A and B are shown apart, each in its own frame.
Chain A
Amino acid sequence: MDDVIATLKILIIGEAGVGKSSLLLRFTDDQFDPEQSATIGVDFKIKTVNVEGNRVKLAIWDTAGQERFRTLTPSYYRGAQGVILVYDTSKRTSFDKLENWLTELRTYCTKRDVIKMLVGNKIDKDQREVDTLTGTNFARRYQMLFTECSAKTCDHVQDAFDELVHKIIQTPGLWDTEKSNSGLKIGERDGEAKASSCYGGCSLI
């Protein structure tokens, strides 16, 4: 549609089992068990959101379990404007691995000012291994947005998600040169192959 101002590529990454897919992609009410989709596995989703009266299309890519085998390819990262980095607050090891994920982001993201959001998941679990302050500090050090949530507090995720999209829209160099680009290719994960116009530097917090 003509009134769509941007098409953004957003990635969700983090260690296996931290709840990336269940937390951010599915808001099912369990009335209708989506067995068929669950069996095959979801690759990516297109969602349309409203940002201050503007329609924005998001292509949201989950790692679809590939992180278990450390096989995320450079093309997975290519062209991404936003990254949601998830860890499990009840599992310290998933937090300790965040540095590795950031290194990978720095290596493969073609846009240097990609907007990052850190999400501490599963706060409803009893045994906390990463407290809120630790998460906050880490997010601040790496200029990331931050939120904590659980499957029961999905509202936080939606808010944080909106904030991420907001930040991207407020960072013109990140998306305005690609306005007409809908060339995200399926299958090859090879879309948006052209080099981005990097304005450099980070833009938030």
Chain B
Amino acid sequence: MATNDNQEVQSASDSNHQLTADGKNAQMIICPNCRCKILLKKTAELVNTDIFLPYMRVKKNTSNQESGQVDGEQLSQFWKVDNMFTFENVGFTKTVGSSIKYLICADCEIGPIGWHDINDKTTFLIATQRIHYSD
């Protein structure tokens, strides 16, 4: 169930993002659920890097929390900004593990839509597969 739900979200997102001449996002980046503005046009840079993100939905009554395992997937394409105040709206979860914070929608709190390591103050990543675009 959880996997299916997650795939729905992914397939619904428009992965045919458009780039400006200097490699920035040509369209506004919005929440796939509530359309809250996450990043304005031309504010983020497209980067390829492999990062594991938990699925956006989890099974109820899952025993994974006890075992310490999280269901998720490896994602490889992200929008990167180097200052958290570049975001129009975004939420940060509490720190997971030693230094990771997941990024979520500031309004509906769907997520993780992105990733941040508190040891790297200039890298904030939003997964291209987990957001939508708008003009």
Contact with A along B66-108 (1 / 0, CB 8 A): 0000000000000000011111111111111001011011111
Q: Are A27 and B107 in contact (CB under 8 A)?
A: yes
Q: How close is B79's CB to chain A, nearest CB, in angstroms?
A: 15
Contacts of A201 in B (CB 8 A): none
Determine if A31 and B33 form an interchain contact, defined as CB atoms under 8 angstroms apart: yes
A198 to B90, CA, bound (A): 30
* Contact-residue size bin, chain A (C-beta under 8 Å from the other chain): 20 to 34
The answer to whether residues A38 and B92 also contact, given A186-B101, A186-B121 and a CB cut-off of 8 A, is no
Mark A87-99 against chain B: 1 for CB-CB distance below 8 A, else 0: 0000000000000
A32/B108 contact (C-beta < 8 A), A39-B65, A40-B96, A185-B121 known:
yes
Q: Which residues of A contact B87 (CB under 8 A)?
A: 46, 48
A28-B109 in contact given A37-B91, A44-B92 (Cβ < 8 Å): yes
Q: Is the CB of A32 within 8 A of B90?
A: no
Which of A4, A26, A187 lies in contact with B108, CB distance below 8 A?
A: A26
Give how many A-B residue pairs fall within 8 Å (CB-CB).
Answer: 111
Let me know if B109 and A46 touch, CB within 8 A.
Answer: no
The answer to the question of A172 belonging to the interface, with a C-beta cut-off of 8 Å to chain B, is: no
B side interface size, CB within 8 A:
41
Min distance, Cβ A76 to any Cβ of chain B, angstroms: 13
* B34 close to chain A: CB less than 8 A: yes
B47 close to A (CB within 8 Å): no
* Closest chain B CB from A180 CB (angstroms): 11
Distance between A144 CB and nearest chain B CB, rounded to angstroms:
25
CB contacts (< 8 Å) of A26 on chain B: these are 107-109
> Is the CB–CB distance between A28 and B108 below 8 Å?
yes
**Besides A25-B91, A37-B111, A187-B101, 17 other CB < 8 A contacts?**
A1-B40, A28-B108, A28-B109, A32-B108, A34-B109, A36-B56, A36-B104, A37-B91, A40-B94, A42-B93, A44-B91, A44-B92, A45-B89, A45-B90, A46-B91, A47-B89, A185-B121
Residues of A whose CB lies within 8 Å of any CB of B are 1, 4, 7, 25-29, 31-48, 57, 59, 64, 182, 184-187
